[in-house]
Chain A
Amino acid sequence: MLNSRWQGSFTDGQTAALHRVDVGFDGLFLLIRDSETGHEYDRWEVRQVRAESGSGPDAIDLRCEATPDAFLSIASPGVVAAFREIGIGVRGLPEGSARRAMIGLAFMAGIVGAASLVWMGVTPLSRVIAGWVPLEYERALSGEVEEAFSEYHCESEEAATVMAGLVERLAGPDHGLPTVHVVNLDLPNAFAMPGGGVLFTRGLLETAESPDEVAGVLAHEIQHVEQRHVMTSIVRGGLLSSIWAVTIGDYSGLLVIDPTTAFNVATMSFSRDDEASADQGAIGMLDRAGIRRDGMSEFFARLAEEEGDVPDWLSTHPASGERAEAVLAGAPAGAENLPPSLDEAAWASLAGACTDTDAPVMDLSELFF
């Protein structure tokens, strides 16, 4: 018995011919017959029928698992309800616009929540993964980076010995750290390199007003190395860009918000945590080595004066004023009476490490462009 008749269009999956058909149920089967001739094209077992929304509110598209290439479209009021009644749910029905807006808002809230969790979770995860990468492997990976800087090394032999002595005093005799080098660059700065190397610039040594300032910066950079911050930031960058690529990547070709900018802002604010943590570790090192903390705090205070009005969240380092205060908080009693970390002769050879150098002056623009 054929009931619930609808008009539809049917393609059998064998040819591109489109057939006008009458559709109805016959017991457990869906019958598909030519509207004009009554020829039966197919007979689909109801439990094998899959339905999804078609083009329009009262339209559905149907397929049968037994003949997956064949396709049936019905557009008729009430058809969705009729199929539901016999247990064939229709997938992908368009939501009403109010309901869609509500679900859309829920998705937005969900995205914010999930992104926050990722934000919080990605740093600890990166630390764990970075810990798995042996320092030797990181060093092998970064061989070329060190190579690129080697021609700018400018420290004298005496200065190198003084620096090595400071490193040993801070990190202990079995520190296993590579040699700290000074590069011929005016800009006062110091870097922890991939693979555990530390670089000072000539500018930093010339700007520093006391050996304790250099010791403070050195302790800070050694902490970056020991806490594996470089590898952590490489892993974090990789994780964040992968997450970006799988979630937004396919759409971002049309987006104008440059993904790289978003990453850099994210990575920066993450690296502020690393900086604060390196500061904390450095304080411990200075205390154990019997070196006053003032040098480090004074250096940061001077940085604060120079850096002006960079907004807090755009800076890679915690605001230097705050840093200087944090460094001094909880200094051990009597620390102010400690002697300078280097005697005058050693300090003079370190501060003038690159006075007589033949090394070329580093051109930053050449490095980056």
Chain B
Amino acid sequence: MMNPPDAPGSPNPAGAPVGSPAAASAATEDQDYRLAFEGSGGEYFFIFLKHVFLTLITFGIYFAWAKTERRAYIWKGFSFFNHPFRYTGTGIELFKGYMLVSIGYIVFLGIPALIATVAPELAAVVEVALFLALFAVSPYVIYRSRNFLYSRTTWRSIRFGLDQNSTPYVREFFNGLVITIITLGLYAPIYTNRLHSALMNNTRFGSLAFHYDGDDKEIWFLTVKGWLLTFVTFGIYYFWYRAELERYRAAHTRIGDTAQLVSTATGVQLLILYLLNVFGTTMTLGLAFPWILMYTLKDLAGRYYVTGYIDFDDVMQRAEDESAISEGLADALDLDFGF
């Protein structure tokens, strides 16, 4: 399959990597690189039982290793171009990160309590100042913790990651927030698009850069249409809106200069997934969650693929640069990503 006709701003529509040895034959080497997920609900349930047991008898200490093992299982289940992803993080680094954050947290809680006993009239001011400080670091924490997760994710031994420069993301985080409040939420679709763009444009797979160029105006109309139709259809249209957004975002995501992300998500597909999640869990009192999660991930992987050409021989390793502290912080501030 060739690049979709709407692949935006592609400098090289033929899909050939300029100046690479493969350039001459690249056009004929265009192909679809499939994403897939294989995982067993039974195995995941077993992992869940093991983790609950070990975490209980170790007074919670095992949770860092549990989190690591769970990620390793899920990461390994995903494959791209028939080759699995891997989670290379370790339990001990996660544990150390969480410990440091816990100590910081105690100090953080201790400061206002201490000030309340010494100078009660200052306590409220200090509390507000600390809250603002927490708020001010939250975009850094989001960025850094995501970078941690990426840097522990490898495919064919090559690490993912985010650029060290978090300024575009942080700037957009605060600017967009202010504008969204001033415009009573009308700016929100553009805000999320720009945050997504700031993250995606800083995403790397080794030396290979991701590019996202979703247009603010198009996203705004797509989203407002989605909101209105969702309202009119009593929520049913929401799944078609999510599917359209997913397809749009994928269609505007390039990997390197010659490959393109594609999503085939449909409204029906997302609706079925939602119904399965809701009824599957309620009717089994939650016990079916491992099987439902596995199905959900399989469905997710199945609706994405990459088309075009990637010269894997040219993708170079990147340095591992993120510590697990960011992950602990993200969890403490409730800014983590669910896994």
Q: A16 contacts which of B52, B158, B285, B289 (Cβ < 8 Å)?
A: B158
A14 and B46 in contact, given A115-B56, A253-B338 (Cβ under 8 angstroms): no
Q: Please state if A104 and B317 are interface contacts (CB–CB under 8 Å).
A: no
Instruction: Return chain B residues, CB-CB under 8 Å to A118.
Output: 56
A69 and B63 in contact, given A15-B317, A97-B42 (Cβ under 8 angstroms): no
Total chain B interface residues with beta-carbon distance under 8 A: 47
Q: Please state if B57 and A13 are interface contacts (CB–CB under 8 Å).
A: no
Q: How near does chain A come to B37, taking the closest CB pair, in angstroms?
A: 12
A254 and B316 in contact, given A114-B56, A246-B55 (Cβ under 8 angstroms): no
Please choose the segment from B174-182, B260-268, B307-315 that sits at the chain A interface, where 4 or more of its residues have CB less than 8 A away: B307-315
Instruction: Return chain A residues, CB-CB under 8 Å to B42.
Output: 97, 100
Q: How near does chain B come to A15, taking the closest CB pair, in angstroms?
A: 6
A118 vs B52: C-alpha distance when bound (angstroms): 13
A195 vs B293: C-alpha distance when bound (angstroms): 46
B16-46 interface code vs A (CB 8 A; 1 in, 0 out): 0000000000000000000000100011011
CB of B116 within 8 A of chain A? yes
Please choose the segment from A105-113, A159-167, A340-348 that sits at the chain B interface, where 4 or more of its residues have CB less than 8 A away: A105-113
Q: Please state if A107 and B317 are interface contacts (CB–CB under 8 Å).
A: no
A255 vs B52: C-alpha distance when bound (angstroms): 14
Q: How near does chain B come to A114, taking the closest CB pair, in angstroms?
A: 4
A69 vs B155: C-alpha distance when bound (angstroms): 11
A247 and B55 in contact, given A16-B156, A253-B338, A256-B282 (Cβ under 8 angstroms): yes
A15 vs B158: C-alpha distance when bound (angstroms): 7
A55 vs B39: C-alpha distance when bound (angstroms): 11
Considering only CB atoms, which chain B residue lies closest to A115 in the complex?
Answer: B56
Q: Please state if B312 and A254 are interface contacts (CB–CB under 8 Å).
A: no
CB of B227 within 8 A of chain A? no
Instruction: Return chain B residues, CB-CB under 8 Å to A255.
Output: 281, 286, 289
Q: Please state if A16 and B206 are interface contacts (CB–CB under 8 Å).
A: yes
Q: Please state if A17 and B313 are interface contacts (CB–CB under 8 Å).
A: yes
Considering only CB atoms, which chain B residue lies closest to A243 in the complex?
Answer: B60
Q: Please state if A69 and B52 are interface contacts (CB–CB under 8 Å).
A: no
A106-145 interface code vs B (CB 8 A; 1 in, 0 out): 0110110011001000000000000000000000100000
Interface residues of A in 250-275 (CB under 8 A from B): 250-251, 253-257
Q: How near does chain A come to B81, taking the closest CB pair, in angstroms?
A: 9
CB of B236 within 8 A of chain A? no
Instruction: Return chain A residues, CB-CB under 8 Å to B156.
Output: 11, 16-18, 71
Name 22 interchain pairs, CB-CB below 8 A, sorted by A: A11-B156, A11-B157, A12-B157, A13-B158, A15-B206, A15-B316, A16-B157, A17-B312, A69-B317, A95-B46, A103-B50, A104-B46, A110-B53, A114-B53, A242-B60, A247-B52, A253-B338, A254-B277, A254-B292, A255-B286, A256-B281, A256-B282
Q: A100-B42, A104-B49 are in contact. List 9 more A-B contacts (CB 8 A).
A: A15-B313, A69-B154, A69-B157, A70-B157, A107-B46, A250-B66, A254-B293, A255-B289, A256-B281
